[in-house]
């Protein structure tokens, strides 16, 4: 799924669920296929878990990958959830896959983050050997600062209640990494507010950072986007040439197009939701219109009209969904829907088309040929089911009763509730073997709708 940002670059959304935790991302190609990748990691105060996503980087001549900091419903600081570092592993693998899919060396990558996103940029960039790291106001004692300043984050990252040993382990993560001297070639840029109170953990880490020969403490007044342009161009603030990597780029992964397609938010293999009611020829009253359908494998169905979000309808374990809107404007309506699974993947789109009249009242539509054809939710067609457990359920807008017929013989009927729902079960079990049952609506004047044929096979057990 793609969206048009404020300026000119197309942004592609995706979810990589190949690791222990699904990773949501946004990606924008370089305007002219320049060979650089900027990874943007969000701070805790960035809206929706993405940082620098409001168009400020649109002019940057680089590929840009925004990684969302939402894992299991909350911020994990790109590290862990309940001290499970599968989050870090998942993020690191996505960054590596995108880098290799673009045919880039790790020296041609800049990790960029603010706040705890800056801490993550330092951690991932140093640990995994990337060329440039920009950390804006990073935190260094990751366990203590979360417990003291962000209780909700501490519960998510450390678990509840946060254990002292786990707090100390997170506090030591960055200092130990810096002390090891890993990735000594990295170009490091740390931006700190000038009025910050000196802290022992910060001062220790800054001392360790100064051991890196390409480390710079950047003034807060330095224009950060200028810094980004320098890094993408292969320059550092000292205006010395950054060494270009030698040899061919890594191989083994398909190109970026294949990667984006395989991890796209919209998955072609995920079936679009089915709209059972209303139908495209239905004329409905302005109040109480109920949309009903099926979306097996989904957790919710998202409904939109004219680009405006309407609602999110939960999907039952059996795959059923329904949604009622109190009032609709008169005229034709075209509601677009898509299903969403537990990982956040979306299905292809489908549509519900119907017409609303303000001259009708709920239940006033007569059931007759071409009107109020019943919707059968159960049983599903062509299933093999126990003969003693076969009942029928569904909806029929405006009908008074529902009738059931097999081989010309009437089996029974049931009433329709005010909201259009109905259900019926025979008095005894079905005989074993195939059955085709005609289900039809009956109006107030005893007129019948077109029948809906449902075929299933009943078993003896």
Q: What is the DSSP letter of 68?
A: -
Tell me if residue 300 falls in helix, strand or coil.
strand
Nearest to 450 by CA among 409, 381, 396: 396
**Tens of pLDDT along 9-41?**
788 889 998 888 899 999 998 877 778 899 999
* Annotation: CATH topology of 274-357: Immunoglobulin-like (2.60.40)
**Tens of pLDDT along 318-377?**
888 888 888 889 888 999 999 998 888 888 899 988 888 877 655 544 444 444 678 888
pLDDT of residue 76: 92
Higher pLDDT, 2 or 61: 61
Q: Tell me if domain 2-262 and domain 274-357 are identical in fold.
A: no
Tell me if residue 11 falls in helix, strand or coil.
strand
Q: Which CATH number describes the domain made up of 375-459?
A: 2.60.40.10
Q: Is the dihedral of CA 292, 296, 302, 305 positive or negative?
A: negative
pLDDT of residue 254: 55
Distance separating alpha carbons of residues 437 and 296, to the nearest angstrom = 24
Q: Going by C-beta distance under 8 Å and a sequence separation of 6 or more, which residues neighbour residue 378?
A: 391, 392, 393, 394
- How many percent of the chain have pLDDT more than 70? 87
Residues 148-158, buried b or exposed e (16+ Cβ, 10 A)?
eebeebbbbbb
pLDDT of residue 240: 30
The model's pTM: 0.66
For residue 410 the two structure tokens come to 């009437």
**Tens of pLDDT along 241-278?**
334 455 544 444 458 888 888 888 888 778 888 888 88
Residues 310-320, buried b or exposed e (16+ Cβ, 10 A)?
beebebeeebb
Domain ranges of the chain: 2-262, 274-357, 375-459
- Was domain 2-262 assigned CATH 1.20.1540.10? no
Give the pLDDT band (50/70/90) at residue 90: very high
pLDDT of residue 174: 92
Give the pLDDT band (50/70/90) at residue 49: confident
Does the pLDDT of residue 290 top 60, yes or no?
A: yes
């Amino acid at each position: 799924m793609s969206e048009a940002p404020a300026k000119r670059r197309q942004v592609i959304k995706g979810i990589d669920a190949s690791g222990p935790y699904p990773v949501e991302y946004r990606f924008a190609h370089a305007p002219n296929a320049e060979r650089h990748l900027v990874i943007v990691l969000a701070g805790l105060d960035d809206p929706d878990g993405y940082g620098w996503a409001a168009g400020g980087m649109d002019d940057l001549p680089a590929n840009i990958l925004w990684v969302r900091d939402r894992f299991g419903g909350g911020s994990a600081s790109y590290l862990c959830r309940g001290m499970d570092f599968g989050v870090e592993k998942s993020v690191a693998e996505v960054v590596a896959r995108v880098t290799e899919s673009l045919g880039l060396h790790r020296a041609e990558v800049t990790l960029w983050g603010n706040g705890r996103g800056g801490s993550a940029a330092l951690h991932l960039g140093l640990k995994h050997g990337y060329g440039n790291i920009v950390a804006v106001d990073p935190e260094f004692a990751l366990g203590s600062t979360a417990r003291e300043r962000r209780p909700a984050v501490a519960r998510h990252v450390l678990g509840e209640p946060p254990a002292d040993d786990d707090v100390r382990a997170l506090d030591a993560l960055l200092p130990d990494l810096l002390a090891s001297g890993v990735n000594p070639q990295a170009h490091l840029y740390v931006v700190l507010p000038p009025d910050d109170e000196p802290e022992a953990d910060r001062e220790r880490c800054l001392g360790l950072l100064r051991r890196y020969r390409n480390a710079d403490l950047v003034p807060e007044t330095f224009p950060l986007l200028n810094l980004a342009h320098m890094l993408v161009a292969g320059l550092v603030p000292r205006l010395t040439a950054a060494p270009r990597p030698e040899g061919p780029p890594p191989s083994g992964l398909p190109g970026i197009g294949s990667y984006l397609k395989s991890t796209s938010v919209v998955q072609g293999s995920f079936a679009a939701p089915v709209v059972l009611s209303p139908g495209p020829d239905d004329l409905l009253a302005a109040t109480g219109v109920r949309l009903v359908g099926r979306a097996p494998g989904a957790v919710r169905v998202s409904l939109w009209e004219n680009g405006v979000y309407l609602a999110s309808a939960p999907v039952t374990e059996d795959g059923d969904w329904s949604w009622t809107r109190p009032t609709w404007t008169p005229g034709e309506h075209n509601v677009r829907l898509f299903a969403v699974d537990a990982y956040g993947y979306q299905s292809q789109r489908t549509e519900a088309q119907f017409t609303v009249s303000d001259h009708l009242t709920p239940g006033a539509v007569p059931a007759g040929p071409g009107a109020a054809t019943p919707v059968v939710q159960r049983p599903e067609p062509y299933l093999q089911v126990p003969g003693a457990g076969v009942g029928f359920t569904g909806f029929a807008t405006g009908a008074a009763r529902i009738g059931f017929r097999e081989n010309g013989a009437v089996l029974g009927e049931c009433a329709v509730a005010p909201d259009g729902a109905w259900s019926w079960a025979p008095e005894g079990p079905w005989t074993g073997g195939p059955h085709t049952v005609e289900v039809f609506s009956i109006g107030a004047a005893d007129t019948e709708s077109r029948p809906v044929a449902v075929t299933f096979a009943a078993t003896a057990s």
